[in-house]
Amino acid sequence: MICGFSRSISCCICRCYTKCIPLPVLTQLLIFGHVLDVVTEFIEGLVETYPGLQYLDGFPEVKVVLRADVSGATYDKVAVVSGGGSGHEPAHAGFVGEGMLTAAICGDVFASPPIDSILAGIRAVTGPSGCLLIVKNYTGDRLNFGLAAEQAKSEGYKVEMVIVGDDCALPPPRGIAGRRGLAGTILVHKIAGAAAASGLSLEEVAAEAKRASDMVGTMGVALSVCTLPGQVTPDRLGPGKMELGLGIHGEPGAAVADLQPVDIVVSHVLNQILSTETNYVPITRGNRVVLMINGLGATPLMELMIAAGKAVPRLQLEHGLAVDRVYTGSFMTSLDMAGFSITVMKADQAILNRLDAPTKAPNWPVAADGNHPPAKIPVPVPRSRSKKNDEILSRPEQLSPLGHILEVAIEAAATAIINLRDNLNEWDSIVGDGDCGSTMSKGASAILEDMKKCYPLNDPAETVGEIGSSIRKVMGGTSGVIYDIFFKAAYAQLKANSNSGITALHWAGALEAAIAAVSKYGGAKAGYRTLLDALIPASSVLKEKLASGEDPVEAFVSSAEAAVAGAESTKNMQAQAGRSSYVSAEILASVADPGAMAAASWYRAAVLAVKECK
């Protein structure tokens, strides 16, 4: 025995299995054959194993697992949808079933699922009662699920999103990254799923999920690094070492320490979760709690039970808590990582009732089986509500006066970004990764090309929506998702007013809605040194000038000047988002934020072009 565990974990600690092929690599060589097939083949096996689960037609590109008995056209309860990168099985697909998740969206290994897959899942299971998205707090997941939510809302679906960040390993972070989403997310799934099954409204289900997420804390301990399919296991940990406070993607933990007996490790983790200094969870002596001991992939159930046996008396005696439920097993893994995480959730009778409610999700501890159907018939991928009868948008043969102005403004904005490409790259090489100009220029070029063919310029709302689609096709990284969210949110706002004719006030409202969506899903606010530091001042000045009765064109010109001033002011800001947040204040002060400068540039160019038209 080493570290209080049995020989299986001791073997991992001693690096015994570095003498052979790591298990996921061996499995892939024998079974899978191709690295890119692992998620596809996992889902194929999953739906054959559990008859209550099905996948969408369009598989394998659209990797969505859903309840076989649910159709968005007829489902009369709130749909609960989650997902994320694969490699965490049984999360998330293993928790799809009546009383828990309605659908799970599967990304590639440790990669956020694509927006189109998320949208397909929403459309497949969402009826008139709406859909709740439960998202772990990682930037990719937040942005991709957020953009899908905005697109779905623009199509008429009711969608809410709850972000779970239950990590208690790190001190309160600076900036917007926040706490990572870990195994506590599974408890939120169960509570939300039970609330939805009881017939509550979307707002009520979202409120219960948010309340649950605010009451849960998790911390992990690793004794090995996970192996990505087709790759050799990295040897980050030396013999006799363990990692405390790691994430679920193999990223380094908060600290590396010498191996300790399991009771000491458990005590340390519980003290961290329940710390009154960080106050991550509102748990005090006398409270009732739920405990989850979660295996990270290569830890036998026997050893997880040992950890559970150590944790319960410490919660009772050292922390004065009543432990009402204990869940032990593998809920959210990290491929073949040896180790475990501990989750503690504050409980009351309402939460216990949700956790005890029946579910047919196959990997919840009290799951129930169904009968095997005679055949597996793929569920059709629902069509987007934003285009009627497979309508293909196209450029009108003759432009209206408004259509001509819109064309001139779009062309000016895109051209300004293309001309600024080298400068943006130069600025970004100082405070980022040097590709801001190239990325933005790709999007601008795609906009110019698509405008010649498919922008319905006489319809401003639809044109704004198509700009987002153009960006989605070519702009990679965070910028592409952020701008797609921006234009989809603006589209939804304009669409609501398109019947009465779009005025300057409507454009101001669309700008405000777009800014709010980017802030909501990206997490940035004024002063965070992002593109919002150009657009927020522009929006504020525009609203003020229009409210005072100023000529609309002059109001927009004033707002463009505010955008440029706001972008320049980012030199004096400490970055709290993106790669710039790792750069020193001295270096940041030498250049304005490239994203803010790009936003000010296209906004100003569009406004001045409109002024010339007038």
Residues in the chain: 614
* C-alpha–C-alpha distance, residues 362 and 352, integer Å: 20
CB 374 within 8 A of CB 434: no
> Measured in whole angstroms, how far is the alpha carbon of residue 516 from the centre of its chain?
17
* C-alpha–C-alpha distance, residues 427 and 415, integer Å: 19
468 is in an annotated binding site: no
Look at phi and psi of residue 436 and say left if phi exceeds 0, alpha if psi is from -120 to 50, else beta. alpha
Phi, psi torsion values for 442, nearest 5 degrees? -60, -45
85 is in an annotated binding site: yes
C-alpha dist (Å) from residue 492 to 153, 352, 434, 520: 8, 39, 33, 16
Q: Which long-range contacts (CB under 8 A, 24 or more apart) does 448-454 make?
A: 448/410, 448/411, 448/414, 448/415, 451/395, 451/407, 451/410, 451/411, 452/395, 453/394, 453/395, 454/392, 454/393, 454/394, 454/395
Q: What is the side-by-side strand order in the sheet with 131-136?
A: 53-55, 64-67, 103-109, 79-86, 131-136, 159-164
Exactly one of 249, 268, 372, 506 is catalytic; name it: 249
506 is in an annotated binding site: no
88 is in an annotated binding site: yes
* C-alpha–C-alpha distance, residues 88 and 546, integer Å: 51
* C-alpha–C-alpha distance, residues 139 and 478, integer Å: 8
249 in catalytic set: yes
Strand partners, 109: 86
For residue 597, give every residue at least 6 positions away whose Cβ sits within 8 Å of its Cβ, in sequence order, or none: 420, 423, 424, 427, 534, 567
488 is in an annotated binding site: no
> Cα 133–137–139 angle (5° rounding)?
100
Pairing of the two strands 79-86 and 103-109? parallel
Annotation: binding site: 85-88, 136, 141
Catalytic positions: 249
Annotation: binding site for substrate: 85-88, 136, 141
